[in-house]
Amino acid sequence: MSTYKKVLVAIDLTEEAPQVLNKAKSIAESQAAELLLVHVVEPVGYAYGGDIPMDLSELQDQLDKAAHDQLGQYGEQYGVAKDSQIVTVGRPESEIHRLVKEQGVDLVIVGSHGRKGFQLLLGSTANGVLHGTECDVLAVRIH
């Protein structure tokens, strides 16, 4: 009997994503678990603090489309079904916590750069996911 039935892997769509995806695919296969592929697009307003009086919806739409396209490519490459590929908009930690509950996830896999000092104190997505998720979390060291 497998330990994990549903694994969520959250990636940032950088060139480092395959390191995390390879580990997630291997774990999901060894557990005969379903693999959910997730990317969270942060709202453009966060980047500008919401202080710019302009309509950023077109830029947000472009970012969303690019994320869907790139996630779809990873999904195809790693054999993840379209209905198991999720692009959502919001704060990464909050969206991952929400998806864990909604999807019945029992393992979250995220990448970690292993930051130290002030960067660690300020927190990271991996740290935020770890401290608010009720299931197991695996942080894959990115080299």
Residue 1 covered by a domain: no
Residue 48 covered by a domain: yes
Residue 11 covered by a domain: yes
The pTM of the full predicted model, rounded to 2 decimals, is: 0.85
The confidence band for 130, taking pLDDT boundaries of 50, 70 and 90, is confident
Residue 86 covered by a domain: yes
Q: How far apart, in whole angstroms, are the C-alpha atoms of residue 117 and residue 15?
A: 25
Are the CB atoms for 33 and 107 separated by under 8 Å?
A: yes
Residue 41's CATH number:
3.40.50.620
Domain that holds residue 21: 6-141
Residue 15 covered by a domain: yes
Residue 41 covered by a domain: yes
State the average pLDDT over residues 5-31.
95
Say how many domains are in the chain: 1
Q: For the chain, first and last CA: distance in Å?
A: 33
